[in-house]
A and B are shown apart, each in its own frame.
Chain A
Amino acid sequence: MIVAAVITLAALGLIFGGALAYASQKFAVEVDPKVEEVRELLAGANCGACGYAGCDQFAEEVVAGNAPVTGCAPAGTEAANKIAGIMGVEAPDTLERQVAQLKCLGDCNTVKIKHIYDGPQDCRAALMFGGGPIACSFGCVGLGNCVRACPTDAITLGENGLPVIDKDLCIGCSICVKECPRQVLELVPETKKHHVSCRNQDKGKQVREVCARGCIACTLCVKKCPENAISMVNNVAVIDYDKCTNCGTCVEVCPQKTII
């Protein structure tokens, strides 16, 4: 009996195996080998920052010529160059790796709290209630929409209520930048060390009323910067990262300790 069963099963296995082998040859889906090569070079986080549904679709679109070879920010310049090589197009200029940077220092000790908010823990929802729980109308609400949006878990909420960005994990996809209702997150070149951590466009007096670390537009940094890299735009200092040499003069002169 056992012998008969073994023979039957073996025979069935052979028949179906042969049928499958034939089908895989006959009905094979032609995949452009380029797509697989490109797919290999991508970051693989499926973050969606390129605007496509995931890395697979992006790879297909690159090969089809619809997406730019530099479209995957997380993969970086090196990958972009290789993709350009595969596609036979000219390699893009060297792009520096970009990481997210928080432009606010209004934590629970520095910014004036208007009221206690206990509704849904969502920055947008909090802003709908009386214009947000903090007195500053430009600063971080601290309810972590960026934390939830980050595809690589690079952002966590720190003890002081502000998001903390792990620059090693950040892939520069800019999803948090788009998600933040207060636009206090920005992509900056990874090598630049100093940032103006405030976006408050009010006059200095009003800023001081609401936050101990806000930019009061005193223009000291503008005057002292040896590279002339800082300008005052809408009452907030802005560093031109192309000119910045990381000398740190602005950090020393800033009376509000806004530049870190």
Chain B
Amino acid sequence: MKTFKGGVHPGDRKSATEKKPVVPAKPPAVAIIPLSQHIGAPCEPLVAVGDEVKMGQKIGDSKGFVSAPVHSSVSGKVIKIDTCKSAPGGTVDAIFIENDFQDTWHEDVKPNPNWEKLSADELKKIVREAGIVGMGGATFPTHVKLSPPPENKIDYVLVNGAECEPYLTSDHRAMLERPDDLIVGLQLIMKMVGAEKGCIGIEDNKPDAVEAVTKAAAKDPRIEVRALPTKYPQGAEKQLIKVFTGREVPSGGLPAHVGCIVQNVGTCIAITDAVCKGLPLIERIVTITGSGINEPKNMLVRIGTPLEDVIEQCGGFKPNLKKLILGGPMMGFAQPGPENLPVTKGTSGILCLTDEEVTIEEIGPCIKCAKCVEVCPVSIMPLFIGSSVEQGLYDRAEKYDAMDCIECGCCSYICPAKRPLTQWIRMAKSEIAAKRRAAAK
């Protein structure tokens, strides 16, 4: 089987939730809708305190191109506009809506019976208006990805169904439960970018998903479904492109530069919902798992549901909870606590780890074993970037191509000296980005 260079094999630990069908979570009493649930310019609120809002109503938008609007996931009244915590750290402005539990849909939300006749531009507009962003966790606005520069002819649309992060099963369940919608979503994307070929990559530890999706895709000869070896980070954009097309995204380049577009399974299904049913992105599948939660589940959660509500519906934390992570264990964001933190468009999982799963080991000196170089999927040398950061030499880190890091976490995972290489590279990236911003001014 074709594969990419490097990568690691962490235990997949998906057994707690992979057989559990998605169950709808209770709508929250107060929905906290952050105005920035995407990479790019934050939204401006379109409603004021005291306004009545309906389900699916657009409540925040931005004029920036790299941005996506946000919608209310409940019907009710805006009680305040305040800050809440955001997954990567820090705070963001958010609209707090008191739920009236009527679930009255907004008049703009209506199915489109003629969706098959829509043009590419009309489809892109629908995707933007529905506030769809990359649902694998990176939350890049999807309509921007679907509008590549005209000089880049897109011939491949790749769908990431690898779900290579340990623990997470939200994409797995989505592929099992809604394979037809996934295929429709992929066909819509192919239409929007004018691609001739659609590929869906699924890791071979999910044979049932491979089977379901292959069956659904049988009608369309342009779509290829392939089982990929189970290896982390199989689902990373650049790695998926390498596996399917043999092309390599250049340093600092985008998938569009090699004629590819990569979308997540969840994003494809959200596009189907938006185009066929007129639904904006107001709910998503979230895997709540880890040995620190009493009842691990896959849940369909309204965007804006406070984490505490979701945890409660899963039987609460176990007393020996040690770490709470939004997303997967490799790339997710550790959280100080569940308070004032809502589920957003990018929340693929809520991981509750106990002291059995989390060990904090002392950082040792680098012995130059080069294991990190061996596993690095983008062929950089994390050990040298790490030591540069340790000495505060960010210029040297830049020379070692710190900016090409995809922050997959393989180096930190494999390092026998337990050196926090990914974290150091992340630091270097933020320093280098700050330096470049200052230089651009």
Contacts and interface: CB of A to CB of B under 8 A. Distances in A.
Contacts of B337: 115
Interface string B81-92: 000010001110
A57 to B, nearest CB: 19
A65 interface: no
A130 B431 CA distance: 17
Contact of B427 (A115, A128, A130, A131): A128
B424 A120 contact: yes
B90 A131 contact: yes
B90 A130 contact: yes
Contact of A119 (B420, B430, B431): B420
B379 interface: no
A121 B90 CA distance: 19
Given A118-B360, A120-B427, A128 B420 contact: no
A188 B337 CA distance: 39
A128 B426 contact: yes
Contacts of A129: 89, 334
Contact of A130 (B336, B363, B424): B336
A130 B423 contact: no
Contact of B335 (A125, A130, A149): A130
Interface string B399-441: 0000000000000000000001001101100110000000000
Interface string B169-200: 00000000000000000000000000000000
Nearest to B91: A131
Contacts of A125: 423-424, 427
Contacts of A119: 420, 423
Contact of B336 (A114, A121, A122, A149): A114
Most buried by B among A115, A120, A121, A125: A120
Interface in A161-207: 179
Contacts of B363: 120-121
A198 B335 CA distance: 28
A124 interface: yes
A114 B427 CA distance: 21
A125 B363 CA distance: 15
A172 to B, nearest CB: 21
A45 to B, nearest CB: 18
A48 B141 CA distance: 46
A24 B308 CA distance: 80
Contacts of B430: 128
A29 to B, nearest CB: 31
A122 B363 CA distance: 13
B89 A120 contact: no
Nearest to B426: A128
A126 to B, nearest CB: 10
A248 B93 CA distance: 44
Nearest to A115: B336
Contacts of A120: 363, 420, 423-424, 427
A131 B336 CA distance: 10
Contacts of B420: 119-120
B90 A122 contact: no
A118 B363 CA distance: 11
Contacts of B89: 128-131
Contacts of B424: 120, 125
Nearest to A124: B427
Interface in A92-131: 114-115, 118-122, 124-125, 128-131
Contacts of A118: 360
A115 B85 CA distance: 13
A121 B424 CA distance: 10
Nearest to B430: A128
Nearest to B419: A120
Interface in B290-347: 334-337
Contacts of B431: 124
A197 B294 CA distance: 46
Given A118-B360, A122-B427, A130-B335, 9 more contacts: A119-B423, A120-B420, A120-B423, A120-B424, A125-B424, A128-B89, A128-B427, A130-B90, A131-B90
Interface of B: 85, 89-91, 334-337, 360, 363, 392, 420, 423-424, 426-427, 430-431
Q: Report, nearest first, the 4 A-B pairs whose CB atoms are least far apart.
A: A115-B336, A130-B89, A120-B420, A118-B360
6 contacts: A115-B336, A120-B363, A121-B363, A124-B427, A128-B89, A129-B89
